[in-house]
Amino acid sequence: MILILTAGILWGCMGLFVRPFNEMGLTTWDIVFLRAILTTVFMAVVLLIKDKRLFKIRLKDIWCFFGTGILSIVFFNMCYFKEITVTSLSVAAILLYTAPAFVMIISAICFKERLTTTKIIALILAFMGLIFVTGVFSNSEKLTLPTLFIGLGAGLGYALYSIFSRFAIERGYDSYAISFYTFLFATFTTVFFADSIKVADVVTSSYESFVLALIFALVSTIIPYLTYTIGLKAVENGQASIIASIEPVAATFIGIVWYKEKLSLSVIIGALLVIAGIVVSNVRLSINLRSQ
């Protein structure tokens, strides 16, 4: 559980990197490409040091990494990074966390995970939070329909990582290998849409930009994806997705402290409802662990 919480908190820091690179002239595709290629290179080095045999995958399992890399990472990043540029960090992060609903429904179908009363309550709390966040009860925080769909798209894309990662884990793949091939596929996809020359120019334009890029890859991608994937070995997909919902809390805190964002009452209520869902899930998880 701690590993998944760590992943959620670090993902909540993503806005600290996306906005600066956006201000430097990088598009959403450029930032996704930068994140993917840096992670791919770093993970390749890790696999070389850890165990070269981890590079080996079966052709019949490629679809797992196509799912984690393209259907999840590329699609999710595109939606989420775009959302960050058109709305507040807190709203973007909370919309992203419609992911647990997608995860639970898909996991129930694919992995026969039970939709328990606790999970349903957590989903209801998260859905109520979504209603408040979208501005139904507040004129100041209303979102346009396209912005809402972008946020929901991010949630679906994020959810698919848990699904396809679970398939890869069940086929015996190490978390390091899953992370490497996930971002390798993402790199091969985004390179066709990003301006790689411009990305290289921005990253190498100064020492600060280069360090920012490295920290971006390490903090928002490498560490959280490794900890989350490892955490999936001990926690159900739906449970993991709810625990990782700590991300909106982290993103909201950063938005207030770093960007001086002001939150309306409806967004605050929405955030509290999402947090309530996390608490309900965590309490149930603790009971299950003690009973084993």
Contact at 8 Å (CB) between 161 and 68?
A: yes
Structure tokens at 109: 């179908």
pLDDT of residue 285: 47
Print the domain residue range for 56. 2-291
Sites in the chain below the pLDDT cut of 70:
89-90, 130, 133-142, 263, 282-292
The tens digit of pLDDT for each residue in 86-142 reads 877 667 777 777 788 888 889 888 888 888 888 788 878 877 876 776 555 555 556
In the block, residue with structure tokens 């309900």: 280
**166 CB burial (10 A radius; 0-12, 13-18, 19+):** buried
User: For residue 185, which of 67, 76, 78 has the smallest C-alpha distance?
Assistant: 67
State the SS3 of the chain: CHHHHHHHHHHCCCHHHHHHHHHCCCCHHHHHHHHHHHHHHHHHHHHHHHCHHHHCCCHHHHHHHHHHHHHHHHHHHHHHHHHHHHCCHHHHHHHHCCHHHHHHHHHHHHCCCCCCHHHHHHHHHHHHHHHHHCCCCCHHHCCCHHHHHHHHHHHHHHHHHHHHHHHHHHCCCCHHHHHHHHHHHHHHHHCCCCCHHHHHHHHCCCHHHHHHHHHHHHHHHHHHHHHHHHHCCCCCHHHHHHHCCHHHHHHHHHHHHHHCCCCCHHHHHHHHHHHHHHHHHHHHHHHHHHHC
Contact at 8 Å (CB) between 189 and 65?
A: no
**What percent of the chain shows pLDDT beyond 70?**
90
Q: Distance between CA 67 and CA 239 in Å, rounded?
A: 20
Please report, for residues 50, 121, 204, 235, 257, the alpha-carbon distance to residue 213 in angstroms, rounded to integers and kept in the order given: 24, 40, 9, 31, 22
Query: CA end-to-end span of the chain, whole Å?
Result: 15
In the block, residue with structure tokens 């209603």: 131
Domain count, the chain: 1
**CB count in 10 Å sphere of residue 202:** 21
Task: Kindly give, in sequence order, each residue whose CB lies less than 8 Å from that of residue 240, ignoring residues fewer than 6 positions away.
Answer: 4, 103, 162, 228, 231, 232
Contact at 8 Å (CB) between 223 and 217?
A: no
pLDDT of residue 216: 93
Phi, psi of 144 (to 5 degrees): -75, 160
Contact at 8 Å (CB) between 10 and 224?
A: yes
